[in-house]
Amino acid sequence: MTTFDYKTLILTRDQMKAERARLHAAGKKVVFTNGAFDILHLGHLTYMTFARQQGDCLIVGLNSDASVRRYKSEKRPIVPEQERAVMLAGLKCVDYVVIFDEDEPKELIAHILPDVLVKGEDWAHYVSGRDIVEANGGKVVLAKMVEGRSTTNVIKKIVEAYRT
């Protein structure tokens, strides 16, 4: 059996910018999405698969542990950023993962300049980076969410099942 080092798909901001330039020169449509992706579940896989279908290459901006704590809770993430990054990189639909520490991915989006920005429809009221992507001729696509599938729901179910 052949093994693959998924860590080669986890790039720094500058490595991703260089890869984006290579992809652009090859005429590829680059898609970007972002999130915490803590405890991967069916909703995440469905979302990522949809995002990948919007172009030729899917880049996932992954919130660092510190940024997840700032916007979710001090108790999150459950899974550390490096493990979350490797799990995402192992998905067939994900081409690259870039970890970012800011509260929003706007700086990362400006650095990469994707052709398509995908967010879940639950973010329709505000898509960070929309202005940057659209100003550069790109588009924003909202993905339908899988009803009842969220990391928060998974955590609640685990807590209820193991409550003493």
Q: How does DSSP assign 100-132, residue by residue?
A: E-SSSSHHHHHHH--SEEEEEGGGTT--TTHHH
CA 102 to chain centre: 14
Instruction: Give the pLDDT confidence of 134-151 residue by residue, as tens digits.
Output: 999 999 999 988 776 776
pLDDT attached to residue 163: 86
What six digits make up the tokens of 11?
A: 């790039």
pLDDT attached to residue 125: 86
Domains of the chain in start order, with CATH, are 6-162 (3.40.50.620)
Distances (CA, A) of 25 to 18, 20, 41: 11, 9, 34
pLDDT attached to residue 7: 74
Residue numbers of the chain with a pLDDT score lower than 50? none
pTM above 0.75, yes or no: yes
